[in-house]
Structure 1
Amino acid sequence: MDKTTMKLRGVNLGSWLVLEKWMVPSLFEGLQATDETTWCAEMGPRAAERLRAHWNSFITREDFRWIAGHGLNAVRIPVGHWIFGPDYPYHPKYGDNRHPFVTGGIEVLDRAMDWAQEFDLRVVLDLHAAPGCQNGFDNGGIKDVCEWHTKAEYREHSLAVLERLAERYRDHPALHAIEVLNEPRWDVPTDYIKAYYLDAYERIRRHCPPERVAVVFHDGFRSFREFLGFMQPPHYQNVIFDIHRYQCFERCDIDADIHAHLRKSAGDWKDEADAIITELGLPTICGEWSLGLDLKVVSLWAEGPFNHALENMDQFQQNVASRGYADAQLLTFEKYQGWFFWSYRTETTPAWSLRSSVERDWLPSSFA
């Protein structure tokens, strides 16, 4: 199959190589930490043993087997800028430890790549947490800090990590794409993001030809129309545009009933998909989506009220609503080049766990 036109149906392996507190609260119990940076800084010498145990247990070879066995063909693997070890710029959140992050993640990623190859899964490697943090979210590595775009050394280290990933896995059969930065925040200047994306493309292309590996960039929470004419062929080849779509973070969505969520999924988002496909000139994926409608379980520190569409339903109604919401989203996202559910596993809520959602019959038992 032509790798540049392959339909991707996949799942994110979130909170594995980049911790998110709401997904794995057991790791954060008794700590003040809110993200991987402050977790490592607070844990200190205890961090290595605890985190390596998490790496070895949270996602295993059997999970790759399960993913492939249910007809999915791809995984998106978030990584932090510290994946190669202590060559990253200092940030004050590190405290007295110049290099707080646990080493050994790259060997876990090596293993994951080989498991993906074994089970014929394609891998999108995603720079999820950049130095200085690109979005101020816990998933960016440092909650409430968004300084990635303020220092040249942060930008350069991000590019260097992308190039090292490209060089390391250039010949690996499982590598499908490299995503150059996850969710840069809406107030990071568009021109700065675009210039970074262009440089990232060139750095990756030093090692990975377009017929083998795609380069993915995220919309940065802004209209796709801000990227019209951007990274077009013939100079730029095998470039993929990434959008993330959720309905639990904005008050208008939180206050909506299930029928409004279905209309947005099958109506508004379908219209958006048609517009992107018609106007943008780049293949597009929905790199993150979920069945989550309850903000409280996602952001353990968010301010309420925590109302949501399913709260007054009995179990039967919740199951019907969840299946309907899943199907409405899938029908829309199938219009794109592909999609990746967030995420494969959580400790907290089944609506954010593909495996739990399949086991509860909210999602199909086979995606083939």
Structure 2
Amino acid sequence: MATLRGVNLGSWLVLEKWMVPSLFVGLAATDETTWCVELGPAASERLRAHWASWITRDDFVWLAERGIDLVRIPFGHWVMGPPYPYHPKYGENPFPFVPGGIEVIDQALVWAETYGLKVLLDLHAAPGCQNGFDNGGMLDVCEWHTQTEYIDFSVELLGRIAERYRASRALWGIELLNEPRWDVPTAILLDYYRRAYDAVRRHLPPERAAVMFHDGFRDWREYLGALPAPEYQNVWFDVHRYQCFTREDLDADIFEHLRKTAVDLRQEADAIRATLQLPTICGEWSLGLDLEVVSLWAEGPFNHPLEHLDPFQQEVAIRAFAATQLLAFERYDGWCFWNYKTETTPAWSFRAAVERGWLPPSFAANAYPSLD
């Protein structure tokens, strides 16, 4: 099976302030929940304008022309409109989110089918938030696993998503939950994954679509035998590998990052594929080595591996980092770069990285002559 080469379409249906700071200018909001609550009735026009401009048909054309196979589309639990579970952060309005996101997905699937792209729909922000990150919808709140209502709604929503897109030829798979935090108990997570799998499979049999689950920031060995065949089929495992969020990575020089990628991450990929025996994707990775541009709330110091290199050396280093990661993640069954675009830093923008020559100009299998 050929490696799936993909790109995330993040900050489209789940806002992340660091990627689209222009939408947050003058606001106290830190995430989509507080953005919608703070703006109130004014949120609708502004967000719909963002939906219409952030990703367009032309972007699908651009990706297809460069040989990309897959787009991973993050969405929030509010995507199909109310009702959805209440959280105290919503204040007096029980349904603060702008409706209409589901029509954006409808259109994305049409574009994907037109231009030959596969789509992975990813529940990125669950009720109560599953990780406490802004990408989970509510910064510093991690309560998804604490209320049955939140978990039950997530299962039911994925069933509705599967039913809605059961006939879509572009739908490749559904990811059950993005990045549940490391302290969400594994037993709760696995029970949810099994229930959500069943909800999706009621409408999408294994031959029609993949079902994907994230590692939840824990050792992949915890999932050995957790979703066994033949009861569970066409199940994919998702890992995310970044190198700018720990003090160890920020203090390391570029040579250590290249070694870590070429040795440690390659060995991890080979071990997961050999032992877990589930098709696996590195669903998020980037060229980011600088924490300051990614997290608008992280505490310093903001040293990073490229800061003492001159501009030529920085250029060589980031190309080497890109190539080494690509070689490592090609050991998996697929990968998806985070993100397609940003307003802020090209190291996190697939399009900018391609246009600057940090990433290859084409990802099509037949784009390059053999070196033989």
Give the TM-score band, short-chain normalised.
Answer: over 0.9
CA distance in 2, matches of 1:321, 1:50: 39
2:187 paired residue number: 191
Q: How does 1:1-368 map to 2 (within 5 A)?
A: 5=1, 7-368=3-364
Residue identity matched to 2:242: Y
SS of the residue corresponding to residue 14 of structure 2 reads coil
Residue identity matched to 1:288: E
CA distance in 2, matches of 1:43, 1:314: 43
Q: Pairwise CA RMSD of aligned residues?
A: 0.7
CA distance in 2, matches of 1:262, 1:161: 41
Stretches of structure 1 that go unaligned for 5 or more consecutive residues are none
Residue identity matched to 1:337: D
2:367 paired residue number: none
Deviations 1:195-234 (A, max 9, x none): 0000010000000010110000000000000000111211
Residue identity matched to 2:339: S
Deviations 1:308-362 (A, max 9, x none): 0111222211111111001111101101110000000100000000000001100
Deviations 1:88-142 (A, max 9, x none): 1000011111100001111111000100001100000000000000000000000
- Deviation (angstroms), 1:235: 1.1
Moved over 6 A (4+): none
Preserved CA contact (<8 Å) 1:180 1:216: yes
CA distance in 1, matches of 2:342, 2:237: 27
Residue identity matched to 2:173: A
Residue identity matched to 2:101: G
2:370 paired residue number: none
SS of the residue corresponding to residue 42 of structure 1 reads helix
Residue identity matched to 1:357: A
CA distance in 2, matches of 1:135, 1:21: 16
SS of the residue corresponding to residue 362 of structure 2 reads coil
CA distance in 1, matches of 2:282, 2:24: 30
Residue identity matched to 1:139: N
CA distance in 2, matches of 1:320, 1:249: 22
Residue identity matched to 1:212: R
SS of the residue corresponding to residue 293 of structure 2 reads helix
Preserved CA contact (<8 Å) 1:232 1:281: no
CA distance in 2, matches of 1:207, 1:52: 30
Preserved CA contact (<8 Å) 1:181 1:218: yes
CA distance in 2, matches of 1:128, 1:103: 17
SS of the residue corresponding to residue 299 of structure 2 reads coil
SS of the residue corresponding to residue 325 of structure 2 reads helix
CA distance in 1, matches of 2:17, 2:229: 40
SS of the residue corresponding to residue 295 of structure 1 reads coil
TM-score normalised according to structure 2 size: 0.97
- Deviation (angstroms), 1:7: 2.6
